[in-house]
Every structure is written in C-alpha cells, then in structure tokens.
Structure 1
Amino acid sequence: HQGEGDRWGRVEPALWGSMGAPGPTIQSLWPQAPIKESLISLSDEDTNKQAVESFRVLMQFMGDQPKPRGKNDLELLYELLKLCREENLRDEIYCQVIKQVTCHPQPEHCTRGWNLLSLLTGCFSPSATLMPYVIKFLQNSGSSQELARNSQEHLQRTVKYGGRQRLPSLGEIQAFLKGQGMRSLLIHLPGGVDYRTTIQTFTVAAEVVEELCRQMGITDPQEMQEFALFLIKKEGESLLVRPLLPHEYLNSVVEQDTSLHSRRLIWETPLHFDNPTYITTHYKQVLRDYLQGKLLVNPQADTQLARLAALQHLCPRQDMLNYLPKPLRGHVNIPIIKKLIDQELRQLQVYNSQEAQISFIEAVSQLPLFGYTVYVVLRVSQMALPGPSLLGLNHQHLIVMDPCSQKQCCSITLKDLHRLHLLSPLESEGPPGLELNYGSADNPQTIWFELLKAQELMHTIVFLTDRVGEGMKRGRGPSQVQV
C-alpha cells in the first residue's frame, strides 16, 4: 500500500487481509517472537528502533514476553501511550496492537491487548490512510464484540472531538483496566439546583451539556450549543472560572478542588416554555442576574419594578425588599413600591407559580442587557465614566453601558477581535485588566478593561468566538482569537 511518502512503503499484506483490506487470508497473525523491524516502512532509523522496542513493550504488557524487573503492567501500558504522542509512531503502534490481538491463542492476553486498543482509540486517531482499515477491523472483530464496540465508540469520539490532549492518569488507567472507568459527577444549576450524572473515561463537555438539555426537553442541536459547563477551580486566593469548550474531556479537567456549573450563555434561539424543567432553570438564571443588578432597570420605573416583584412573590414567598435588584434598593420609594405590588398581586392572583415564572422571563427579556453575560468594569481606557460600568457580552459583540444613564459607551464585534491579553494590576492589590486588539488592518484598535473577573471574561470570549467559528456555515464570523 502506497501513501504518505515512504513510511507506507511496506505493510505486511497479511495484516491488511485481517483488517478487511485487499490481501491474502491467513490463520493467525499473532507472532511468538518480537519483530525485528517496524511493520510500516519508516525511513528514520531511530524511529524504526523505537517501533521495534514498542512491540517488545507491547508483548511484555500482554504477557507474551517476561516483564522487565521493576516494571508492572500499568507502567508498561503508560509507556506505550506516551510513545503514541509521536505522530510518526502512532500508526505503527496501531498496527502492532491489531497484529497482536488477531487470532491470539490466549484469551486473557488478548483481552489485555484489546484494553490497550480501547485506550488508544480514545486518545489518538490513526492517520487518514490507516483509518478505514482500523474501522473495518473493529467492525469485523466478532470474537471480541463488546471490546471492539467500545473501541469503535472511542474512535468515533476521538475523530469528532480530537482525543484527550492529556493522557489519563495512572490511577484512571488502573480503574479503566478493572472496568471501573465510570464516575459520578455533580453539576450545579442556577438557583441552587443540583444534577448528578455519570461520566466515563472519554466523556466530553458537549455530551453532558446535551444530556442536561434533554432533561429540559431541548432537542434542537443549535439550541444545545447555547449552553455551557463552567469550571470553577480555586487557585491560591482566587477562583478560576471558565466555560469548558465542547471538545474538552471532563476527566482531564475535573479534579478534587473543582466544581462544575451549567448555564445558558447564548440566547439566539427563541425561548419556548413547553417543559417544566426548562422553565424553572431559565427562571432561576434570569432571576439571579436581575437581582444582582446585571439587567438594567430604571429606578424611577416603579410600575415595572412592582410587577417583576409581584411575579416573584407568586413563586417562593419572601420579604418584598428581596424582590428588587440589590443596586436599586436604596434608590426607590419602598412604600410606593409595596402599594404597587399589592395592586399587581390582585391582578395576578389567577397565575400559578409556573405561569408567573414564564411572565417574569418574558418581562425581563425586554430589559437592555437581557441575553448578555454581564461583568462590572471599574475602568475603561480612553473613557471617562462617572463610576463602575457594565460590560455585556453575547455571541455577537461586546458592549459597555453606563448603568446610571443606561447609555451605550462602546461596542466591539467579536468577529473583529484579533488578540486578547491579560494584564497585571495597575496598582498593588488592584484588579487585573484585559486588553483587546480588534479592528481592520487599516484601522487597528486597542482597548483595555479593568475588572475583577478579567480572566473569566477572557475565557468566555474565547468560548464564544469558538462557537462563532462553528457557526461559519450559517454565515457568521471567524474562529478563535489569539490569547
């Protein structure tokens, strides 16, 4: 078989026959002795020596050769996975493992080889040349049906999501070999609701998001992409908060000192209220942003404030003052608000809790910053603002608004972003900053923002630009910005 230069100049014909490709049929491929040269023709002598050594390690792991003193099965397996990081060895090791598990006379040894192949397919993809042969081999492996099916699923995931960038830990591999690769994972939803799920060695963030969406009755793939998992991890005295990209493998990022939270990040798909879980989840998220003052309301808009408070009152009941956005509680006439709330409650007495939640979401959706992820910005370069401003970020652009006048001070389209740069605090113990480079080649622009959550903002922009990149077929902007 010829292709990809001279490295494919020689592959054993019998091996191709076993994988469903043209080649003679043979009774057994399993060798009793180590190979003396690579299965694939490798032009580099050192790489060829590595290939011969990898086969020896493979036989030692499978039990076909004695283990070297001081090394156990786990160390041998990890050694093979580390060798697969070298792209010029990856196809060779794929072929070696397939050769060893084909017609192997000892089932226990053969199972070890299949476990390795299952890990291999979950971490690394073979070349485009080898891929169809690997797929055909897995499809034809009836004698190891379950193991072959697992490998097929892992390979499909690797092709779709790119494979695990970080190898599984030794402890994770040991659990995988024992058939204990599943683990429980807790997801925190808006409003203090928790959702528990189960993940496996090669589960990615997109799969958990899809599961959460199905619980809310969401079936549209485009709408599913509007939700994200946020990783929160303690780093010294501060917290790292960032959305996980869809292709990130959860076992690579979720550790003991981390937690996962889910929320809607993009609000492009029209809302629909046909599922109780959907309604409650969206209500809790919108309510949290509203009460934190991230959705701008004029303090003089007494009727609007009263209606939103009354709708909350029809859900869980609490003190009336807690229904108002925190920044406005000292700037409104409380007796007038309470009187208006009583009037609204008389009109809304026929509403049940779920109807009130829907009406609240619909009312809040008319506010200026609805659908944005909002951050409090302390300073903006080249702008003289009277106080802290609000930075709103959605899938299309970034805006800055003066919360007092509710006037937009700045707008940057995400597709015009070129580079993000995290800045050290300007003052000791001050907040960090984030510098943005954007604009055209003829008119480059630079702006920086000083805010406590600069790192979170940077990661969220990267996530959204990645989502925008996936939407290019629908006529949107470019892929990721440089960080």
Structure 2
Amino acid sequence: MELRALLAGRSSKRQLFFLPGGLERHLKIKTCTVALDVVKEICAEMALSRPEAFDEYVIFLVTNGGQHVCPLSRCTYILDVASEMEQVDSSYMLWFRRVLWDQPLKFENELYVTMHYNQVLPDYLKGLFSSVPTGRPSEQQLQQVSKLASLQHRAKDHFYLPSVREVQQYIPAQLYGTMAGSAWLNLISQHRQQTQAISPHQARAQFLGLLSASPMFGSSFFFIQSCSNLAVPAPSILAVNQNGLNFLSIETHELMVKFPLKEIQSTWTQRPTASSSYPYVEIVLGDVAAQGTMQLQLEQGLELCRVVAVHVENLLSAREKQLTLPPSEITLL
C-alpha cells in the first residue's frame, strides 16, 4: 500500500484528526508516518514529551457512521489507512483518545485540559464514575455534583445563573431525578461566587481534579449484552482500567465482579453467529495451572481487545522495568 501511494505520486497529505469534543487537528502525514508519530505530535501540542506519556494515547479508526471503532497499532502507516478508507468508506474518521491514565493529570496546558475534559464529560453525565444511591444522595455527594455542575456552566464561559433546563444537562440523569430541579438550582447557586472568579480553563481543570478521585475515573466503558460467566450479571457495564475488568450493575453502577489484569492471558474476537447480531470476545483468565474462558457479547469487540491489550502491555512493561532496576530503585516504583 505504501508503495502504491508513492507510485501514484502521493507522498504526503494533510490529514484530519479528531480530539474529544470535536476538536480538530490537521497534520501533515507522509508515507512513513505511523500512528505513534501522530500521537507524539499531538502530545507535543499538549506539552507532553516523555515516552511514558506517548504510551497512554491511541489513534482510533472510526467507520460506518461511528458504529465501528478500531484502535490502530502504534506502527500502522496512517497514509495506508487513509488511502484504503477513501475507497471503502469516505466518511471515515481518525480519533485521538487517552486509554491509559497512569501519569498524573497536568493542568497548565489549555489543549491538554480541554481534551481530557471533553473525553471524560460524556461518561460522567452517564453516571459511570460512581454508584447511584437508592434514595436521596448524601450531603457530600450533593455538594460535589452541584460543584461539578457549576464548573461545567463556567467552562462554557457563562457568568449568569443557569436555568433549570441547563442544570438538568449538567447532572447525571440518575442523580438529577432524586430532587426537584429548583433544589438543584439552589445548590448550584451556592458555588456561583467561587466559579465566577475563575476562567473557563480553570473551571475545566478543577472539574478534572475533582472527578479524578472517583473510583472508575480513567476507565474505558463497554456495554455487555451477555456473558458466559454466571458470576457476571448481564446486561452489564464493563469498565476497563489499570485495576482490570470491572463489571458494573447497569442500574446502580455498583461494582459486581472484578478480574485483575494479571489474570488475563489472552483475548480474541469471534464473528457474530447466525443467531446473534453482535460479535463475541473470548477472554482467557487464570494462570498456567488453571485457566478458564469467558465469552462476552458486545458491539465494540475489537476496541475492547485492543484496550485490554494496551493495559496488559503496560502492566508487563512495568514488571519488566521493576526486574531490571537496581534494588535501591525498585521501591520508588
């Protein structure tokens, strides 16, 4: 493919990449440009220069109107992908997203803060970062949710007090329904003086800082249709993060079952069967002595496999680094 592009006289082009929230970056790519090069260039704009940071971001190929999301390996030639997609699906998109969240958040760079804010906001508004209370939320939860709502309003560069309709857009639906809209508005107004004194950039940074303490912050979420493991409720929500595979209740978002990363031996996808419209992912869990296979049914099978692989590779890399360090430095990890 790379040779074909060269023979066609096409050695470079301006390629569009989408960051969370619809942010766009047009980058010049050449026949030798791979996904890692793009990650490095966008990271440089976010004032990130360490190799550890590059490992945390991935380029995704999105096709079929957003229905098919496939993470690209670090060595994939971008021009090859673009040339092929222009013939197969001209509406394709290339997304830049963070997958690993080991490195601490930074709040100085505006693009960095905006990109991360835009990535986590939709999952927050779905209520995925914390469990849903059965009754009225605790006072601490009410204060945090109202503060986060006030920060979202300021992040839009608004100074006025939000309307009840706007407030509803700033609060996860499961929580918003526990109180009247006017009660939420009253809580949010208590934070107005503080949030008015900061810039939209600072509001986004504070939002990230508060949300980063949530147990599922930094997770990639997947909707699981069914699971062969009887211990896993189905349907459920799968949160993949540095702690492993976390299956959450679809109603309360409480953690139901967890499998640590170190137990994951392999993953692979299976095509949909005649009786099913969704592909399967098979995950081998356990150790050398005892292993079992868990079969998951979901739409984003390839994405799940790649995200899990990124986390497992990171775990193995950390272990390898630990083994090669002198004893005096091991305790620093």
Which one has the bigger strand percentage?
A: 2
Indicate the residue corresponding to 2:155 in structure 1.
315
Q: Supply the distance in 2 between the matched residues of 1:435 and 1:186 (Cα, whole angstroms).
A: 34
Distance (Å, rounded) in 1 between the aligned partners of 2:105 and 2:151 = 19
Q: Name the CA distance, whole Å, in 1 between partners of 2:8 and 2:268.
A: 40
Q: CA deviation at 1:369?
A: 0.9
Which amino acid is the alignment partner of residue 277 of structure 1?
A: L
Instruction: Spell out, residue by residue over 1:161-199, the C-alpha distance to the aligned partner (whole angstroms, 9 max, x if none).
Output: xxxxxx4253x12244xxx41111101001111011000
Larger gyration radius, structure 1 or structure 2: 1
Q: Which residue of 2 aligns with 1:382?
A: 229
Deviation at 1:405, TM superposition (A): 4.7
Partner in structure 2 of residue 342 of structure 1: 189
Is 1:370 matched up with 2:217? Answer: yes
Tell me if the contact between 1:243 and 1:463 (Cα under 8 Å) persists in the aligned partners.
no
Residue aligned with 1:390, SS: strand
> What's the counterpart of residue 269 of structure 1?
103
The match for 2:45 is 215
Share of identical aligned residues, percent? 28
Name the structure 2 match of 1:444: 291
Cα 1:469–1:242 shift into 2, 3 Å? farther
Matched, 1:306 2:146: yes
Query: One-letter code of the match for 2:123?
Result: D
Q: Which SS does the other structure have where 2:238 is aligned?
A: strand
TM score, norm. by length of structure 2: 0.82
Q: Deviations over 1:255-288 (max 9, x none)?
A: 2223100111111011111211111111111212
d(CA) in 1 for partners of 2:292, 2:211: 34
Q: Match of 2:130, as an amino acid?
A: L
> Is the deviation greater in 215-224 or in 398-407?
398-407
Alignment of 1:316-335 (within 5 A): 316=156, 317=158, 319-335=166-182
In the TM superposition, what is the alpha-carbon distance from 1:249 to its structure 2 partner? 1.3
Distance in structure 2 (CA, Å) of the matches to 1:238 and 1:285: 16
- 1:229 match: secondary structure: strand
CA distance in 2, matches of 1:305, 1:427: 45
In the TM superposition, what whole-angstrom CA distance separates every residue of 1:354-373 from its partner, at most 9, and x where no partner exists? 11111100111111210111
Structure 2 counterpart of 1:242, from 55, 70, 78: 70
Cα pair 1:228 1:243 within 8 Å, conserved: yes
2:19 maps to which residue?
189
Counterpart secondary structure, 1:348: helix
Does the CA contact (< 8 Å) of 1:183 and 1:200 recur in 2?
A: yes
Which of these residues, 382, 389, 392, is aligned with residue 239 of structure 2? 392
Q: Which amino acid counterpart does residue 465 of structure 1 have in structure 2?
A: V
CA shift, 1:309, in A, is 0.5
Name the structure 2 match of 1:40. Answer: none
Question: Cα gap change, 1:427/1:405 in structure 2, threshold over 3 Å: closer, same or farther?
Answer: farther
Q: Partner of 1:173 in structure 2?
A: 6
1:405 & 1:297 partners in 2: Cα distance?
5
Aligned letter for 1:195? R
Would the aligned equivalents of 2:17 and 2:26 in 1 still touch at CA under 8 Å? Answer: yes
* Conserved? CA contact 2:132–2:254, under 8 Å: no
Query: Is 1:412 matched with 2:259?
Result: yes
How many residue pairs are counted as aligned between the two chains?
Answer: 304
**Change in 2 beyond 3 A, CA 1:349/1:238:** closer
Report the Cα offset of residue 386 of structure 1. 6.6
State the alpha-carbon separation in 1 of the partners of residues 63 and 310 from structure 2.
17
Q: Secondary structure at the match of 1:191?
A: helix
TM-score by length of 1: 0.58
Determine which of 459, 463, 473 is the counterpart of 2:320: 473
Rate the CA distance shift 1:169–1:259 in 2: closer, same or farther, 3 A: farther
| Cα gap change, 1:242 to 1:460, in 2 (>3 Å) | farther
State the alpha-carbon separation in 2 of the partners of residues 208 and 456 from structure 1: 19
